[in-house]
Structure 1
Amino acid sequence: MQRTTFTVSEINQLIKVTLEGYLPPRITVAGEISSFRPHHSGHLYFTLKDNNSQLPSVIWRSTANKLKFDFANGVSVLATGNIDVYPPFGKYQFIVDTIKASGVGNLQLAFEQMYNRLKEEGLFEEAHKMPLPQYPMSIAVVTSESGAAFHDIADSIARRWPCAALYLLPAPVQGDGAAGKIANAISLANRLADKYGIELLIVGRGGGSPEDLWAFNEEPVVRAIYNSRLPVISAVGHEIDTTLADLAADARSSTPTRAGVIAVPDRHELIEFVKGLRQRLRGAAESRLNLSRSRLQTVMASSFFRNPLYPVNYKTQQLDSITQKLRRLADASFAANKDMLNSYARRLDMVSPAKLIDKNRLTIEHISSTVTRDVKVMLREQTSRLESLEARLQAVDPRNVLKRGYTITTKKADDSIIRSADKIVPEDIIVTEFADGSKLQSRAQKDGE
């Protein structure tokens, strides 16, 4: 008899076995990511949907860590994996082990997403880029130790500017972990800059597939280039290759060999430039010398050099002329003043002080007698008044009172006069002053103590 009653667990297990037996072991599903929710475990839970249906899906953490593009809702993808039933919930789900964006490649999508995000942060702004040193004497290169890129850079620089010192900071340029090691090498170059006088940094590698060049599109490398204190030349791949490292660098080279051309001047061109400067300097010096010689000849042909004492004699003659004019002016002024003084003398004689004194002597004597008498009267009155005031002051002088046997008692604390026992309290120190100026201190006590 066929069994018709099952437990929930048995039904879910039966469905799981049936689906696994009926469906192909691996299937590819085209759809759009929806309801994406990352889990703290690192697994990705989402739904693949089209216009009519939805398929619950999951990507385990080991697969999620290898994704090349930003996983987000709305992205159309081709996902490959297998259908599985999760018996505890009675739910079937699509276990994805391979996924790529449809329409554009995974790497291109990842490139565009990373570019847009870093551009919004300003990592590609021209205003941030630094000028390259004109004559660098110490250059660091971050590239593979075994690749041809370093040799191409070194050969190019040696031909053009052999006086420059090169420092290789080796780092893998492709594969897992390459981006982090390239970023670390860039940071190391900046730390060693002061010690070794490094002025310029070249980061790059030779050509390859987009996958081979991908390390130079990863965020750690782009940020390390952006944060570098040293100017950076990016030399990744060939002319047709463009990486995010190229966009963040201060200068971009199409090839490693070309990076050497950008990094240093050509000594031959510089020598020719210096020769040209020397010729221009010589020509300028000769022109200046000829001009100075011409000016000297003009000066030597002047009257000054023919008769050096002429200016002195000329000035001496001018001085004599001025002296004569001043003497004539002084004589004329003296004569005029003499006439004026004689006139004043005659006028003064007419109003002689002796005559005026004789005329007014009696008036002066009368005034003098009157003033003397008035002053004496005033002095007697003031003297009498002062004597009266002095007698009154003596009458109220405390010192005179003391002479009659009285004393003055004050508080020592504030020097105030004690007029009543109510003004003191026990233990106050009081001072008694006598007529001869002596003082006696005592301490106040209550009656009976």
Structure 2
Amino acid sequence: MNPSSSLPKSIISVGEYLSLLNDSLRNTLSPGFFIRGEISDFRISQQKWISFDLKDEKQEALLKCFMTIWQLRTPLEDGMRVQVIGYPKIYERYGTFKLNVEEVELIGEGTLYRAYILLKQKLEEEGLFDLSRKRLIPRFPARVGLITSCDAAAYGDFLRVLNNRYQGVEIFHTQVAVQGNLAVSQTLEAFAYFNHLASNMRPDVLVLTRGGGGLEDLHAFNDERVARAIFQSKVPVICAVGHERDESLCDFVADIRASTPSNAAERLVPDRREIFFELKSMQDRLQERFLDLISKKNIIISHFVKISNFRLSQQKERLEFCTKLFLKRVPLWISSLQTRVKTMQRLLQQTDPKRLLRLGYSLVRVNGRILKEASSVDMGSSIQVELAKGSLNAEVTNIHKK
């Protein structure tokens, strides 16, 4: 007989038993390791809940998994190889055993590439890659925010090319991990830091860069959260991730995609030698245009002088002609005027009243008025008689009317 059978036994409900079992499972199998397998029967319910089966790749074993859509950081589909971390739970209502997934990581280049393609299609459909939203980079940026690791070769390459090409740019470097578990969170924090600066303190451009690597190495730069941080950035972004053959989602979202960290510096600032050459060319063109303008103005002035001289010559000839004509006609005008004066003098002499007086006639006035008729005067009136020489007063003693 089993000794334990004689021990008193507690009686508990099914719910209490399952609750104890869940506590035991959670304490025993706390999230401290990843479970690796292949996804099958992947489903999304009500745009909230995600369920899938995680199959063992070597043994015929299957684990039911459950998570919310907000916990999902990368697209999933059947056939992908992943490793998950979570805690086990028996759901009391249905008596089913599931793993509550807290984190999912993709495994293998094939799975990473498939997730990359799915996320790329999603972001492209949302318009994050549209060329119409790309912003222009200032030609001469004064402040640049650099997001990378100072231990990465990309950091040294970028600064070396930048300083060789152009001087005077103020660099604000934010240290981030470019791969590993901290890469995504630190990159998001860097973007948040720059965007929360006052507008007069923000950099003119942000540069996100790292060296080359495989899909696993570049995983942080294919993360949806980082891509959306670039899209929502208040500052234009240049992205230079990997080598020329490498491609990341951040490259497609960024305002400018540079093929390498060195190329990012080349795309960011002009070469000072090119600026000097451009200034020299501008100076030559300006001088050429100035000389051409002077030449054209000289031609206009010369033409104006010729016209002015021609017109002045015409006016001079006309003046000389008029002067000669005037000098020729003046004696005639004077002679004509003299003749007219003499004629007028004769007329004046003929009509001069004193001339008649000298012939023996007289001029009679009554009260200062010239007397023309005898009837205009009365007997005894005093009259004044003007003669050629002298005058006299008389009294009317007799009137003879006609």
TM-score (norm 2): 0.58
Q: What is the CA-CA distance between 1:101 and the residue it aligns to?
A: 7.7
| 1:34-89 deviation digits (Å, cap 9, x = unpaired) | 5666999x9x654479xxxx98632477xx97x874345xx1245899xx997989
- Separation (CA, whole Å) in 1 of partners of 2:226 and 2:308: 80
TM-score (norm 1): 0.52
Aligned to 2:398: none
**1:187 and 2:192 equivalent?**
yes
| 1:374-425 deviation digits (Å, cap 9, x = unpaired) | xxxxxxxxxxxxxxxxxxxxxxxxxxxxxxxxxxxxxxxxxxxxxxxxxxxx
**1:238 and 2:243 equivalent?**
yes
Give the counterpart of 1:288 among 286, 290, 293: 293
Partner-residue secondary structure (3-state), 1:212: coil
| Letter in structure 2 aligned against 1:230 | V
Is the Cα contact below 8 Å between 1:45 and 1:59 reproduced in 2? yes
Distance of aligned partners of 1:146 and 1:38 in 2 relative to their CA distance in 1, 3 Å threshold: farther
5 Å matches for 1:161-240? 161-192=166-197, 194-196=199-201, 198-240=203-245
Is the Cα contact below 8 Å between 2:81 and 2:108 reproduced in 1? no
Aligned to 1:58: 64
| Letter in structure 1 aligned against 2:63 | S
| Letter in structure 2 aligned against 1:225 | I
Q: Percent identity?
A: 29
Aligned to 1:298: 303
Note the residue ranges of structure 1 that are not aligned, 5 or more in a row.
2-8, 10-26, 318-449
**1:120 and 2:125 equivalent?**
yes
- Separation (CA, whole Å) in 1 of partners of 2:191 and 2:36: 42
Note the residue ranges of structure 2 that are not aligned, 5 or more in a row.
2-13, 15-34, 323-402
Is the Cα contact below 8 Å between 1:34 and 1:48 reproduced in 2? no
Q: What is the CA-CA distance between 1:250 and the residue it aligns to?
A: 0.6
| Letter in structure 1 aligned against 2:263 | R
Q: Which has the larger share of helix?
A: 1
Partner-residue secondary structure (3-state), 1:307: helix
Q: Which runs of 4 or more aligned residues in structure 1 lie more than 6 Å from their structure 2 counterparts after TM superposition? A: 27-31, 36-40, 84-104
Is the Cα contact below 8 Å between 1:201 and 1:231 reproduced in 2? yes
| Letter in structure 1 aligned against 2:156 | H
- Separation (CA, whole Å) in 2 of partners of 1:103 and 1:145: 28
| Letter in structure 2 aligned against 1:157 | L
Q: What is the CA-CA distance between 1:153 and the residue it aligns to?
A: 1.4
| 1:175-221 deviation digits (Å, cap 9, x = unpaired) | 22322321221232233363336221111112233222111111221
Q: What is the CA-CA distance between 1:173 and the residue it aligns to?
A: 1.8
Q: What is the CA-CA distance between 1:170 and the residue it aligns to?
A: 2.1
| Letter in structure 2 aligned against 1:289 | I
Is the Cα contact below 8 Å between 2:195 and 2:202 reproduced in 1? no
- Separation (CA, whole Å) in 2 of partners of 1:56 and 1:233: 45
Q: What is the CA-CA distance between 1:295 and the residue it aligns to?
A: 2.4
**Alignment size in residue pairs:** 287
Give the counterpart of 1:76 among 74, 79, 82: 79
5 Å matches for 1:106-117? 106-117=111-122
Greater Cα shift, 184-193 or 262-271: 184-193
Distance of aligned partners of 1:168 and 1:275 in 2 relative to their CA distance in 1, 3 Å threshold: same
Give the counterpart of 1:266 among 267, 271, 295: 271
Q: What is the CA-CA distance between 1:288 and the residue it aligns to?
A: 1.5
- Separation (CA, whole Å) in 1 of partners of 2:122 and 2:291: 62
| Letter in structure 2 aligned against 1:284 | R
Give the counterpart of 1:137 among 132, 138, 142: 142
- Separation (CA, whole Å) in 2 of partners of 1:179 and 1:262: 25
**1:276 and 2:284 equivalent?**
no
5 Å matches for 1:3-42? 32-34=40-42
5 Å matches for 1:357-436? none
| Letter in structure 2 aligned against 1:58 | K
Q: What is the CA-CA distance between 1:310 and the residue it aligns to?
A: 3.0
